[in-house]
Chains A and B, each alone.
Chain A
Amino acid sequence: MSARTLPLLFLNLGGEMLYILDQRLRAQSIPGEKARKVMNDIITTMFNKKFMEELFKPQELYSKKALRTVYDRLAHASIMRLNQASMDKLYDLMTMAFKYQVLLCPRPRDILLVTFNHVDAIKDFIYDSPGIMNQVDETFRRLIDTYSCLSDGEFQLIRQTLLIFFQDMHIRVSIFLKDKVQNSNGRFVLPISGPVPWGTEVPGLIRIFNHDGDEVKRTEFTTPGNYVTPQREGSFGLYGDRVLKLGTNMYSVSRPVETHMSGSSKNLASHAKENIVPNPLAKEELNFLARLLGGLEIKNPSGSDTGFRLNLFTTDEEEEHAALTRPEELSYKVINIEATQVRTAHFRPLIPIARLAKKWVSPKVVT
């Protein structure tokens, strides 16, 4: 629906990806130098000027599979490799986190604050590289230029577009379950206390006016919620306190995350449906991907850079188990693009994940 949705979807999912990768890099004790290189490489790729130009062109959203392909490439933009099971888990975590943020953001406009929280955090991830910092700031300004003039109604349309995109995804995430913001059926919990959105009054008052517009009566009613007036509005500028916490980093080394696939299997009907319906968009989608990915420069680890494999699970056994037990319907079959369809110089065909896994066969992290 809204043709302004893709940049927000991409940047927020990318932000979540970086949070998770940062946490896993530290949990797996990847040497600092390598970890910093990975983060810098991915951020550089993500905020590539040409790529951002394509992204910010008004366009419809494409399928989950197409988007997944973009993140597969992005995650492999550096010397780090992920196998299929880890990539699936990474993507599940990213999408559920952002779905949660979209659903909970108090006003539709606050989706922008969520995005700013992500971009603020990304800037903190950049290590000693003013060039990359400039790239990110440029995108920041582009965000402000594009979105600050939109009305509440347009933001709600963006939000509705995102919620349609995430509809029927109910993967359970341990960190959400623990915090009781997600129920065991994969649905998120709506709080009924705390500050109301900026510009909204705490419910409970009825005012009646006469013909002349004078207030003639005031009655109150009790609401079941326990709401309070918000203290202040978050900053929509380049810098400042966003106030809103949605979109900030919720991971830490001591708080690893798990996804639970099994319990959601009863909800898979719609996933299955999406896969069997022939997709008339395929061609358009491939063009879109080619256009987007044309801006993504992917480096294969070579020469002096020693690559390593990142595991999103605690042990390799768990990772293998996850790969075997993942329901077929939840597998994102990565779209392979024939090199001939792509005329962009930068574009290289996707390296099949299986081959990558073989390439980085070592059981633990290569250091």
Chain B
Amino acid sequence: MAAAVAEYRREQSLPLPGSSAALYNNLSVLRLPGPQPQRFSAVHGPSLSLLSAAAAGLGLSHRQLPAREPGMGLSAALLTQAAWCVLPSRVLLVLTSQKGIQMYEADGSVLVYWHALDVAEHPPAQAVFARGIAAVGERFICVGTSSGPVLVFDIPPKGTNVTVSEVLEQHGAAVTDIAAEQGRAPDGAGDLVSADDAGTLCVWSAGEEFRLVSKVPACGCTCSSVALWHGTVAAGFGNGQIRLYEAASGRLRAQVNAHARWINALDLAPETGKLLSGAEDSFVHIWKLSRNPDTDDVEVSWVRRSCPKPPTRVLGAPPEREQQLGKGILPLCCALGGPESSSGAKGAMGNLERAWDKGWRDGIRGNGFQLR
């Protein structure tokens, strides 16, 4: 345990242009190999705050990407999520909103594809939106919808000829999150997992036709975030629990009373099996997933509470956690989808230490933590 503590360090903070909305999984990071700038994004109401940072935090550039609408919509669409989808042939920035799904080139410059949700066919009381974004396989991007279906988009290596190749109908409630394990999933374990408001989890095997591998029935508690690691599904729930399931069978293998309040985001470092959870209790915890070589049981252990340098007394704050200080663990959990994170003021606020987590996802190195 002690050794694990030294495995990451905090890097320089980066300011986002505005605060982040209280949504699930509201932070995405794109880290490409080579000298290309790192990109960060977080949703703020009807627009996406984009930040690109050259190496060593030099050369920051901000921009706001508005949620575009076909024609002139009647009301401004709120964004629900944004994520970079890395496929072998290309990288797309995918935005989901109340109106539909937008796919941009990675830098947000060119709109490649737009998919409108059919708002009229839903009863007026039902919220309509898309949410849950993941790239899977050689050429697919999957996006969830509020009525349950998961749309599978077939992405050409270049150009705008994106098509809906399949619609996966297994969820009976609004999809919350989708995660994939690119090129690492054990045979037969499935390489995509989708979760919904009622707590249903569906594990899929991607291909010409997607195949349902296993299904964990609804438990009545919202599953807000999922991750997939070596055939194990990690799911974060509204009751503060993290549960681990065997992807191939859907069997429950571990249950962690992890947080005192709603979990808003999970992230996973694929190389090390470290899992990060952020919740509305203001804490970020780090867990270590492993497999017992004798029994093949999945194991999970608590590594630490992510708080490299607890700055909770900044500005004379009381010893309790501050809801949204610019520095420290809170912006992290805010950007992970906790309550509104820090303001648009420059300087102390709006830091991007929150980018700690998703940098992990790409398995290279977090902007804040460095995994070795």
- Which residues of A are in contact with B by a Cβ distance under 8 Å? 1-4, 57-58, 60, 103, 106-108, 151-154, 156-157, 159-161, 163-164, 166-168, 170, 180, 183-185, 187-193, 196-197, 199-211, 213, 216-217, 219, 221, 223-225, 227, 266-267, 269-270, 280-281, 284
> Is B282 close to A, CB under 8 A?
yes
Bound together, the chains give a CA A191 to CA B325 distance in angstroms of: 14
Known contacts A103-B339, A163-B339, A187 near B325 by CB under 8 Å: yes
Known contacts A164-B22, A180-B318, A267 near B282 by CB under 8 Å: no
- Which residues of B are in contact with A by a Cβ distance under 8 Å? 18-19, 21-23, 44-45, 72, 74-76, 78, 80, 98, 124-127, 129, 173-174, 176, 196-198, 220-222, 224, 238-241, 251-262, 280-283, 295, 297-302, 305, 315-318, 320-325, 339-340, 342-345, 349
Residue of A161, A200, A216 touching B260 (CB-CB under 8 A): A200
Q: Which residues of A contact B98 (CB under 8 A)?
A: 1
Main secondary structure of the interface of A (DSSP, over half): loop
Q: How far is the CB of B270 from chain A (nearest CB, A)?
A: 22
Greatest chain B CB density within 10 A among A58, A151, A191, A205 is at A151
A216 touches B315 (CB 8 A): no
Known contacts A168-B343, A183-B315, A204-B257, A284 near B297 by CB under 8 Å: no
Bound together, the chains give a CA A143 to CA B364 distance in angstroms of: 50
Bound together, the chains give a CA A217 to CA B298 distance in angstroms of: 11
Q: How far is the CB of A205 from chain B (nearest CB, A)?
A: 5
Residue of B23, B255, B317 touching A160 (CB-CB under 8 A): B23
Known contacts A183-B315, A192-B321, A216-B297, A154 near B197 by CB under 8 Å: yes
A201 touches B343 (CB 8 A): no
Q: Which residues of A contact B349 (CB under 8 A)?
A: 185
A103 touches B257 (CB 8 A): no
B344 touches A267 (CB 8 A): yes
Q: How far is the CB of B284 from chain A (nearest CB, A)?
A: 11
Known contacts A213-B252, A284-B75, A189 near B260 by CB under 8 Å: no
- Per CB-CB distance, the 8 closest pairs between chain A and chain B, nearest first, are A153-B197, A221-B302, A58-B125, A201-B257, A163-B22, A153-B222, A58-B124, A187-B324
Bound together, the chains give a CA A199 to CA B238 distance in angstroms of: 10
Q: How far is the CB of B186 from chain A (nearest CB, A)?
A: 16
Q: Which residues of A contact B321 (CB under 8 A)?
A: 189-190, 192
Residue of A151, A163, A219 touching B21 (CB-CB under 8 A): A163
Q: Which residues of B contact A57 (CB under 8 A)?
A: 124
Bound together, the chains give a CA A153 to CA B124 distance in angstroms of: 18
A189 touches B322 (CB 8 A): yes
Q: How far is the CB of B275 from chain A (nearest CB, A)?
A: 12
B260 touches A227 (CB 8 A): yes
A201 touches B241 (CB 8 A): yes
Q: How far is the CB of A140 from chain B (nearest CB, A)?
A: 19
Q: Which residues of B contact A193 (CB under 8 A)?
A: 320
B19 touches A168 (CB 8 A): yes
Bound together, the chains give a CA A188 to CA B22 distance in angstroms of: 14
Q: Which residues of B contact A225 (CB under 8 A)?
A: 260, 281, 283
B254 touches A267 (CB 8 A): no
Q: List 17 A-B contacts (CB under 8 A).
A: A1-B127, A57-B124, A154-B127, A156-B222, A160-B23, A167-B340, A168-B19, A189-B321, A190-B281, A199-B239, A200-B240, A208-B297, A209-B254, A216-B297, A224-B283, A269-B344, A281-B75
B21 touches A167 (CB 8 A): yes
A267 touches B260 (CB 8 A): no
* Given A154-B127, A209-B254: 11 more A-B contacts, CB < 8 Å: A3-B124, A151-B220, A156-B222, A164-B78, A166-B340, A168-B19, A168-B344, A183-B323, A191-B320, A209-B251, A219-B301
Residue ID in chain B nearest A281 by CB atoms: B75
B343 touches A207 (CB 8 A): no
Q: How far is the CB of B362 from chain A (nearest CB, A)?
A: 27
Residue ID in chain B nearest A196 by CB atoms: B260
Q: Which residues of A contact B280 (CB under 8 A)?
A: 190
A152 touches B238 (CB 8 A): yes
Residue ID in chain B nearest A206 by CB atoms: B256
Q: Which residues of A contact B251 (CB under 8 A)?
A: 209, 211, 213
Known contacts A189-B322, A201-B240, A207 near B75 by CB under 8 Å: no
